[in-house]
Amino acid sequence: MMKKLFHVFSSIFFVIIFSSCALRNEDEPSDKSIRISVPKDASVFSIMGLEKVSDESKTDHKYSIEYSSSYSEVMANLASKKMDVAFLPVNLASVLYNKTKGDIKIYAINTLNNIYLITNNKTYNLSKINTVYILKNELHLKPIVQLILGEIGIENFDFKILDDKYDLNNDLDNTEDETGTAFVISQPYCEKFLDKYKFKNIRITNFGEMWEKIDDRMPIPTSCIAVRKDFIEHSEKDFKKFIEGYMKNQNYANENLHEASSFAKYTLNIDKEILTKTIPKCNLVNITGSSMKEIVDNFLKKINKLSPELIGGKLPDKNFYVTS
């Protein structure tokens, strides 16, 4: 008798559960926050306002945003499903796609051409470069440096990871001769770096402009929006709402430099005055669909020729891209 009653109550319970699911309006947002992993780089400007409107309940979608100083942490957050969406350098997104066997996709390019080469002002001939300093957290820039310098015939140089205590004035601000030293850095930290050292005798070259001359006017896609495949499949409406918010926020940052700098200065630990100058140089964009695929595919093919391991062992297939 008890066993029979149990089956009756179980049946009633599941009817109630499935009925309540069916009655739920598909346009209603889920109760779960959209979890976003963001590196402390130019992508901060693309997202910072979402957290504020979410905290102030000005949106029916909640955002849980985690900022990280490490790209490896951002990758781990997405791979482990701790996060739903992440901002990543394009070549690292490819690594993650291959590592997870296709469990992540990319939706958009959100920054372009924001990498700079800094040399002594006597180094007019870049072939003199023999040492390239790079920040520990920007090692993903190495293949870009190798490709661009290699295209102009510079192959015999060494990379050195920059120690925070090392005084680059000795190499970069030398007025006597060519030092053979260069430093590669992306925005917004390039502007912070220049403000810190107050160099008087340096040359700054935009790697993006060099790349476009070499690569038939194709830009460098420096960062992208990566998203878990199952999140898009099961929470498509939530993802679309996130994209709407992200686009509004990014447009706001591009058009309101002072206000955006006020938001970002604590996260990036960079003075507002410096950030105001650097936002236009971060090249915040929103390139999606077939245009995004063409730019990213072209970029990854070149890195693949250099070394397949730099993109995760092989070129991603068409499923890597959200194009519809």
The verdict on 100 and 238 lying in the same domain is yes
Strand 221-228 and strand 104-112: pairing? antiparallel
* Spatial strand order in the sheet of 131-134: 158-161, 131-134, 181-186, 115-120, 202-206
Phi, psi at residue 208, to the nearest 5°?
Answer: -60, -40
Q: How many Å apart are CA 123 and CA 157, to the nearest integer? A: 15
7 falls within a domain: no
Q: Residue 252: which domain range?
A: 26-113+220-320
Considering the chain, what is the average pLDDT of its residues? 83
* pLDDT > 90: percent of the chain: 57
> Is residue 123 over pLDDT 90?
no
Mapped onto helix, strand or coil, the DSSP state of residue 83 is coil
How confident is the model at residue 122, as a pLDDT?
63
The region of weakest confidence among 86-95, 188-197, 208-217, 307-316 is: 208-217
Is 11 a domain residue?
no
Q: Which of 103, 122, 101 has the alpha carbon at shortest distance from 180?
A: 122
Domain contains 156: yes
Asked, for residue 3, whether it belongs to a domain, the answer is no
Q: Specify the pLDDT at position 128.
A: 79
Question: Is position 275 within any domain?
Answer: yes
Per-residue pLDDT, 152: 80
pLDDT band, residue 2 (cuts 50/70/90) = very low
Average of pLDDT values for 89-116?
96
Q: Is the pLDDT of residue 18 over 60?
A: no
Q: 104 and 133 share a domain?
A: no
Give the residue from 166, 196, 214 where a domain finishes.
214
Question: Which range is most confident: 47-61, 147-161, 176-190, 270-284?
Answer: 270-284
Query: Which residue's entry shows tokens 């077939």?
Result: 290
Residue 159 domain-assigned (yes or no): yes
Q: How many domains does the chain have?
A: 2
- Looking at the predicted structure, is the pLDDT value of residue 27 above 50? no
Q: CA of 156: how far to CAs of 57, 126, 149, 153, 279, in Å?
A: 55, 12, 10, 9, 34
pLDDT of residue 175: 46
> Looking at the structure, do residues 226 and 192 belong to the same domain, yes or no?
no
- The pLDDT value given to residue 49: 77
Q: CATH number, domain at 305? A: 3.40.190.10
If asked whether residues 120 and 210 sit together in one domain, one would say yes
What is the per-residue pLDDT for 151? 83
Choosing from 169, 192, 214, the residue where a domain stops is 214
211 three-class SS: helix
Q: Is residue 266 part of a domain?
A: yes
Residues 228 and 209 in one domain: no
Among 300, 313, 238, 259, CA closest to 26: 238
Residue 95 and residue 122 in one domain: no
Assess whether 179 and 161 both reside in one domain. Answer: yes
Cα separation, 126 vs 149, whole angstroms: 8
> Do 297 and 273 share a structural domain?
yes
| Model pLDDT, residue 295 | 95
Please give the residue that has the higher pLDDT: either 273 or 179.
273
Q: Are residues 151 and 62 both part of a single domain?
A: no
**pLDDT at res. 216:** 73
Q: What is the DSSP string of 178-198?
A: ---EEEEEETTHHHHHHHHHT
pLDDT in the model for residue 26: 38
Q: Write out the two tokens for 180.
A: 């053979």
Per the structure block, which two tokens stand in for 9? 């109550």
206, 153: one domain: yes
In a domain, 157, yes or no: yes
Query: What is the average per-residue pLDDT within 276-292?
Result: 95
Provide mean pLDDT across the span 116-142: 82
**Residue-wise pLDDT tens digits, 182-237:** 889 999 999 988 888 777 777 888 988 888 887 777 899 999 999 999 999 999 99
Q: pTM to 2 decimals?
A: 0.85
Domain boundary among 181, 214, 247: 214
Interatomic CA distance for residues 145 and 149, integer angstroms = 6
Q: For the sheet containing 63-68, what is the strand order?
A: 63-68, 34-39, 85-88, 221-228, 104-112, 284-288
The answer to whether 314 and 235 are in contact (CB under 8 A) is: no
| 209 and 139 co-located in one domain | yes
String of DSSP letters for 221-287: EEEEEEEEHHHHHH-HHHHHHHHHHHHHHHHHHHH-HHHHHHHHHHHHT--HHHHHHHHHHH-EEEE
Is residue 297 located within the same domain as residue 182?
Answer: no
The pLDDT value recorded for residue 115 is: 94
